[in-house]
């Protein structure tokens, strides 16, 4: 029964990811006084792309065609690590937070390879920028997750969720606050949102992620776009699960699950709103300031880990 | 009511966390108005602490002090500073001699330093270790802001943060001093801010810039 | 009730001045207030010595120490007001720069300092010490030049930070008192604390912590090195009468606060810790100040460093412990006030005549400005501790105290510093006095007020150098009695 539930969780994540993206885009448009496209637009885009032809540059090798598949696969696996409605995850094992970080890194690695394999100069530029951002984001990502794991005495994300539910909401823990701030900054870098990267830009010189996928088309592009949406949703779900998991179903009864779904919807809505507001009010950082941004995240994450010793 | 009470009590006990957050955020801030807002938040947390302590000791004077701190430090002084920022019509960035990540690292280091500095004195001074460490961290961060920020108004903000730290240290150790003294202290601070604001305008008028690191005419 | 007089006379005077429109009326009001204040202080001093400790309500208190410091404040402030009436004939235009603002702020400044002296309560004392910074900041920046604004800003910021530390020290002392059983309502009252002090031994760590913070905090306002960075700027850029007030009265005010804390701490845990700290601050101050005096190029900055050095000597005197050191310290603070006022008034004249205070551009004063030059010469002799001036006596007493309490190193250090100062001042002043006057300076006629003021100063210095009058000695002994109980 739990297994089925967990599989449903993963399916939900996968299927709802484009909707999350659509809602964010619509909210941003509203905030900026535009109409914006309908929230179902990403689904329409995916359907359209799946029906189109996959064009491969002559100079590309098998890596170019392999990359989208690897990216999508790794993102699916990562989605299976995060508990959504219920305190366990499909692939939840002790130490899965490390898996999470490195599966995301694996996907990114292949994306970079594919971008360079495509042969365009923008692909190379995007890949090198992405390498910089991801290198700097890896340490705070791991450290922040580690600090929460140390406090919870548990190596799996599901375990951390269970521990956090047992704490009182009002007893603010310095470690969690610091880890949250660090992870929020890292999340922005990982998912390629403003102020690190603009997902809707059409100016190639300002692109990081978009530059890497310039050469892709058809189903390959669909897979990459979908994977990117899933990544965004997974990171959001991770933030919610680690820091505000109250409301998660403790039993598998229908009532508990319904309540958990509603609460989850609320939390995601709040995060989506925050992200839309932040993206509309903050300017994208110039590339040379991004290391500084991630340096702040690193400092916060290091402090979080040190605090686990102090708060004993 | 019981639920609210316990929730409030727990939140207040961990309000040191909020103060540490403001310390880190104020170190990373890029605009003067952000720093002023963070100072206001700090003062709000301190006001909450005052109210909690007053309830615990059933002291009516404490509530008067809380109202005073609220009006002066949370509302009046930030408002005055905002108006000064607007009137100055100068660039509103915090000209810092350290980058954002360097500042946050230093602030983090200061927080750790304050924990270690406070450890041997917890028995002597009484009070909660986390709050006392937060107070020392505020003092150190205020000092850091004054030294690393080049804008005159940022020196004022740094001074206010430092003063907040000392006020908090007083609060956690003594649970309040005679009312007249508290009023006098807050009034002094308000007057001080007015005077400093005046001087900021004078600096701008005399020097045509607000960079205190360039005020080096008098040396030796 | 008598205590209310010296407190409210300057306040009332300031109010009247601020409401006045006519500049001449402003000056006359200020002078009258100064005179009345001097009389009020005189009456207070006499009352203290006939009735012992005076109290008024919960917050005002005056004892022997108060009377001693009030005396110096009254004398210097009267002299400063008289001198200002002659000196400030041309006031630069500016938002807060006018005769009205000058005298109003000066009187307000006096009010805050009198309030410090008359405070019964350590918290009240803190509030008014901070108020002195606020009241004098605009006076420091009075001329609105680049240097003045910079000096005023530095003064405001550095002193406010220092005072914040002193606040923490005050609170720590309050905490120690409350823990030691004193009721919270009166745990900041100096009289109560002094009586309860022997019972506070249990809070040793806390008392030491408190004193360290107070020493650093109020020490900033006294001008101890390394917290002195504001002092040379502020004293140099302010108008000369204000420099005199800052050097001669405000530094004493801060030292008074330190002395009050030292009395409590010494009574509670013995004087070892606090006096050692004072000795360290004093020694460092005199060494650094004397060395820095050699390289000064501005006359008033030179005088400012001299103030730092003399405050260091006072700190050493107190830190030596024993009757001799304390007597010397108190006497020295009084003598220094008068001598420094004398010198700043001379500097004011130099500025009027030469238009600058850069010593390299001032030459041949002995020939071109005989009276001012002579005053400068006399002032130099006085401030370096030459007989027959008062500083010789006080420095000698302190040195004797150092030898008698076996602080040989300190004594040698002090002698060395004084010698360095003597050499530096001799070098600078000789350059200014000797030689041919290069350009004939403007020579406005010397005001009668100047002669009066300088005459009074010289008289005091000489009298104190030759034979301390019995009445003054009684006041001095009263002050010592308070600190030595």
Sign of the alpha-carbon dihedral angle for C156, C159, C162, C166: negative
Binning pLDDT at 50, 70 and 90, where does residue A273 land? very high
For chain A, what is the radius of gyration of the CA atoms?
Answer: 19
Contacts made by residues C83-87, CB under 8 angstroms, sequence distance 24+: C83/C240, C83/C241, C83/C244, C83/C345, C83/C348, C83/C449, C83/C450, C83/C453, C84/C30, C84/C241, C85/C27, C85/C30, C85/C31, C85/C449, C86/C447, C86/C448, C86/C449, C86/C450, C87/C239, C87/C240, C87/C241, C87/C348, C87/C352
First to last CA, chain B: 63
Task: Tell me whether residues A172 and B18 touch, CB distance under 8 A.
Answer: yes
Query: pTM, whole model, 2 decimals?
Result: 0.88
- Confidence (pLDDT) at A89: 81
Collapsed DSSP state (helix, strand, coil) of residue C51: helix
Closest CA to C7 of C139, C110, C131, C101: C110
Q: What is the pLDDT of residues B132-175, one digit of tens each?
A: 889 999 999 999 999 898 888 899 999 999 999 988 888 887 76
Whether the bond between C226 and the residue before it is cis, its omega within 30 degrees of 0, is yes
Residue C317 CB coordination number (10 Å): 31
The residue among C173, C345, C175 whose CA lies nearest residue C260 is C173
List pLDDT tens digits, range C424-454: 998 888 888 887 776 666 666 677 778 888 8
- Cα–Cα distance for residue pair A95/C474, rounded to 1 Å: 82
Give all chains having 3 or more CB-to-CB distances under 8 Å with chain B. Answer: A, C
Of C59, C147, C205, the CB nearest to B124: C205
**Chain B residue with minimum CA distance to A175:** B17
Q: CB of A139 within 8 Å of any CB in chain B?
A: no
pLDDT of residue B145: 92
Inter-chain residue contact A299 with B18, CB threshold 8 Å: no
CA–CA distance, B176 with B182 (Å, rounded to integer): 8
Chains B and A touch (3+ CB pairs under 8 A): yes
**CA distance, residue C131 to nearest chain B CA (Å):** 7
A299/B111 CB distance under 8 A: no
Instruction: Give the distance from residue A158's alpha carbon to the nearest chain B alpha carbon, in angstroms.
Output: 25
Domain that holds residue A81: 2-310
Look up the ipTM and state it: 0.89
Q: Does B118 touch chain C (CB under 8 A)?
A: no
Which of B118, B143, B178 is the best substitution to test chain C (most C C-beta atoms within 10 A)?
A: B178
Q: Count CA atoms closer than 13 A to B112's CA, side-chain side.
A: 16
Count of domains in chain A?
1
**CB-based contacts of B71, cutoff 8 Å, min separation 6:** none
- Token pair for residue A109? 């690695």
Q: What is the pLDDT of residue C93?
A: 60
Q: Is the pLDDT of residue B220 over 70?
A: no
The whole-angstrom separation of Cα A90 and Cα A76 is: 11
Q: Do A310 and B100 touch (CB under 8 A)?
A: no
Express each pLDDT in A220-234 by its tens digit.
999 999 999 999 999
Q: How far apart are CA A261 and CA C37, in angstroms?
A: 79
What is the C-alpha to C-alpha distance for residues C342 and C76, in angstroms, rounded to an integer? 10
The verdict on residue B80 lying in a domain is yes
Interface test with B, best of A147, A171, A278 (most B CBs within 10 A): A171
Exposure of A156 by Cβ count < 10 A (0-12 exposed, 13-18 middle, 19+ buried)? buried
Cβ within 8 Å of B, A 19-58: none
Q: Which two tokens stand for residue A186?
A: 């890292």
Distance CA A290, CA C349 (A): 60
| C443 burial via Cβ count (<10 Å: 0-12, 13-18, 19+) | exposed
Tokens of B204: 């701008």
| C54 secondary structure, DSSP code | E
Domain residues for the domain of B82 are: 16-88+95-205
C52 Rama class: left (phi>0) / alpha (psi -120 to 50) / beta: left
Q: Which residue has the higher pLDDT, B91 or C119?
A: C119
Whether the link from the prior residue into C388 is cis, omega within 30° of 0, is: yes
Q: What's the total number of domains in chain B?
A: 1
Give the closest residue to C187 by CA, choosing from C205, C210, C209, C165.
Answer: C210
The token pair at B17 is 């966390």
Residue B139 within any structural domain of the chain: yes
**Contact residues, chain A, for B17 at CB < 8 Å:** 172-174, 177
| Cβ contacts of A303 on chain B, cutoff 8 Å | 24, 108, 111-112
For residue B69, tell me if it sits in a domain: yes
Task: Express as a percent the part of chain B with pLDDT over 70.
Answer: 95
Element housing C56 (H / E)? strand C54-56
- Does residue C485 have a pLDDT over 70? no
- Measure the CA–CA gap between C171 and B127, rounded to whole angstroms: 14
Contacts of C297 in chain B (CB under 8 A): 220
- A95 is written with which tokens? 């130490």
Number of cross-chain residue pairs from A and B with Cβ atoms under 8 Å apart: 69
B11 within a domain of the structure (yes/no): no
Q: Is the pLDDT of residue B206 over 70?
A: yes
Which of A:173-202 have CB within 8 Å of B? 173-174, 177-178, 181
Listed residue (A97, A270, B218, B59) closest to C236, CA to CA: B218
What pLDDT band is residue C94 in, cutting at 50, 70 and 90? low
Interchain contact, A295 vs B100, CB within 8 Å: yes
C-alpha B77: how far from chain center? 11
Query: Mean pLDDT of all residues in chain B?
Result: 85
Q: Does A238 touch chain B (CB under 8 A)?
A: no
CA angle C375, C378, C383 (to 5 degrees): 120
Per-residue pLDDT reduced to its tens digit, B94-126: 888 888 889 999 999 999 999 888 888 777 666
* DSSP character at residue A60: -
pLDDT digits (tens, 9 = 90+) for C43-87: 888 888 888 888 888 888 888 899 999 999 999 999 999 888 888
pLDDT in tens, A63-83: 999 999 999 999 999 999 888
Cα angle C236, C237, C238 (rounded to 5 degrees) comes to 100
| pLDDT for the residue C443 | 63
Instruction: Count how many residues are written for chain B.
Output: 220
Distance from CA of C146 to the nearest CA of B (A): 6
């Amino acid at each position: 029964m739990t297994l089925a539930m967990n599989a449903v969780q993963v399916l939900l994540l996968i299927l709802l990811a484009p909707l999350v993206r659509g809602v964010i885009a619509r909210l941003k448009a509203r905030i900026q006084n535009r109409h914006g496209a309908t929230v179902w637009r990403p689904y329409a885009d995916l359907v359209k792309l799946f029906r189109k032809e996959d064009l491969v540059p002559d100079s590309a090798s098998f890596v170019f065609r392999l990359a989208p598949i690897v990216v999508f696969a790794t993102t699916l696996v990562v989605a299976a690590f995060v508990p959504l409605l219920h305190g366990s995850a499909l692939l939840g094992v002790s130490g899965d937070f490390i898996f999470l970080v490195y599966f995301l890194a694996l996907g990114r690695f292949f994306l970079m390879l594919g971008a360079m394999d495509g042969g365009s100069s923008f692909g190379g530029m995007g890949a090198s920028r992405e390498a910089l951002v991801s290198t700097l984001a890896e340490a705070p990502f791991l450290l922040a997750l580690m600090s929460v794991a140390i406090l919870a005495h548990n190596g799996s994300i599901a375990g951390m969720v269970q521990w956090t539910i047992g704490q009182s909401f009002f007893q603010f823990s310095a470690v969690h606050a610091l880890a949250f701030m660090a992870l929020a900054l890292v999340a922005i870098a990982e998912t390629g949102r403003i102020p690190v990267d603009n997902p809707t830009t059409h100016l190639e010189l300002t692109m990081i992620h978009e530059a890497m996928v310039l050469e892709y088309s058809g189903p390959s592009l669909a897979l990459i776009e979908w994977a990117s949406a899933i990544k965004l949703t997974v990171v959001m779900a991770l933030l919610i699960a680690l820091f505000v998991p109250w409301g998660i179903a403790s039993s598998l009864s229908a009532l508990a699950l319904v309540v958990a779904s509603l609460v989850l919807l609320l939390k995601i809505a709040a995060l989506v709103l925050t992200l839309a507001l932040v993206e509309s009010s903050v300017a994208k950082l110039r590339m040379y300031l991004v290391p500084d941004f991630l340096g702040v995240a690193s400092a916060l994450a290091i402090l979080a880990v040190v605090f686990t010793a102090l708060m004993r | 009511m019981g639920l609210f009470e316990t929730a409030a009590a727990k939140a207040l006990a961990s309000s040191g966390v909020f103060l540490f957050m403001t310390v880190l955020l104020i170190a990373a801030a890029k605009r003067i108005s952000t720093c002023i807002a963070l100072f206001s938040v700090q003062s709000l947390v301190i006001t909450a602490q005052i109210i909690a302590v007053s309830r615990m000791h059933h002291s009516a004077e404490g509530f008067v002090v809380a109202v005073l701190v609220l009006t002066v430090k949370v509302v009046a002084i930030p408002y005055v500073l905002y108006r000064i920022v607007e009137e100055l019509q100068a660039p509103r960035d915090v000209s810092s001699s350290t980058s954002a990540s360097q500042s946050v690292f230093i602030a983090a280091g200061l927080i750790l330093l304050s924990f270690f500095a406070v450890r041997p004195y917890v028995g002597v001074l009484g009070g909660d270790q986390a709050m006392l460490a937060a107070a020392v961290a505020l003092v150190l961060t205020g000092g850091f802001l004054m030294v690393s920020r080049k804008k005159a108004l940022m020196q004022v903000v740094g001074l206010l943060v430092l003063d907040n730290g000392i006020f908090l240290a007083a609060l956690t150790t003594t649970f309040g001093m005679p009312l007249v003294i508290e009023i006098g202290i807050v009034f002094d601070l308000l007057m001080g801010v007015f005077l400093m604001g005046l001087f900021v305008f004078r600096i701008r008028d005399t020097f045509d810039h607000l960079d205190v690191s360039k005020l080096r005419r008098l040396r030796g | 009730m008598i205590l209310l007089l010296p407190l409210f006379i300057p306040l009332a005077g300031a109010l009247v001045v601020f409401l006045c429109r006519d500049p001449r009326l402003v000056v006359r009001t200020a002078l009258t207030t100064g005179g009345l204040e001097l009389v009020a202080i005189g009456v207070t001093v006499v009352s203290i010595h006939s009735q012992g400790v005076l109290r008024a309500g919960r917050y005002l208190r005056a004892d022997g120490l108060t009377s001693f410091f009030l005396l110096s404040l009254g004398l210097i402030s009267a002299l400063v007001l008289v001198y200002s009436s002659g000196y400030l004939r041309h006031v630069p235009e500016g938002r807060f720069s006018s005769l009205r603002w000058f005298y109003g702020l000066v009187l307000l400044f006096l009010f805050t300092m009198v309030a410090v002296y008359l405070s019964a309560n350590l918290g009240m004392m803190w509030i008014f010490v901070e108020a002195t910074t606020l009241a004098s900041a605009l006076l420091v920046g009075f001329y609105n030049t680049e240097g003045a604004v910079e000096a005023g800003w530095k003064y405001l910021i550095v002193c406010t930070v220092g005072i914040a530390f002193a606040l923490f020290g005050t609170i720590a002392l309050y905490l120690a008192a409350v823990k030691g059983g004193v009721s919270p309502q009166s745990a900041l009252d100096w009289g109560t604390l002094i009586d309860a002090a022997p019972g506070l031994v249990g809070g040793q760590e806390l008392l030491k912590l408190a004193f360290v913070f107070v020493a650093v905090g109020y020490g900033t306002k006294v001008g101890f090195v390394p917290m002195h960075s504001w002092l040379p700027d502020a004293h140099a850029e302010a108008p000369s009468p204000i420099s005199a007030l800052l050097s001669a009265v405000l530094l004493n005010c801060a030292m008074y606060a330190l002395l009050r804390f030292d009395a409590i701490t010494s009574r509670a845990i013995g004087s070892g810790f606090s006096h050692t700290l004072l000795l360290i601050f004093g020694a460092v101050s005199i060494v650094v100040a004397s060395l820095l005096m050699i390289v000064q190029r501005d006359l008033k900055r030179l005088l400012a460093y001299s103030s730092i050095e003399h405050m260091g000597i006072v700190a050493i005197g107190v830190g030596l412990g024993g009757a001799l050191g304390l007597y010397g310290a108190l006497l020295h603070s009084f003598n220094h006030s008068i001598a420094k006022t004398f010198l700043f008034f001379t500097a004011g004249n130099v500025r009027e005549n030469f238009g600058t205070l850069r010593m390299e551009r001032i030459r041949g004063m002995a020939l071109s400005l005989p009276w001012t030059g002579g005053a400068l010469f006399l002032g130099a002799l006085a401030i370096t501790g030459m007989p027959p001036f008062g500083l010789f006596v006080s420095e000698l007493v302190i040195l004797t105290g150092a030898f008698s309490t076996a602080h040989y190193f300190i004594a040698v250090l002090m002698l060395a510093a004084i010698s360095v100062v003597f050499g530096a001042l001799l070098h600078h002043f000789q350059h200014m006095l000797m030689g041919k006057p290069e350009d004939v300076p403007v020579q406005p006629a010397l005001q009668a007020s100047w002669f009066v003021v300088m005459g009074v100063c010289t008289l005091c210095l000489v009298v104190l150098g030759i034979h301390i009058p019995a009445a003054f000695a009684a006041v001095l002994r009263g002050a010592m009695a308070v600190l030595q109980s």
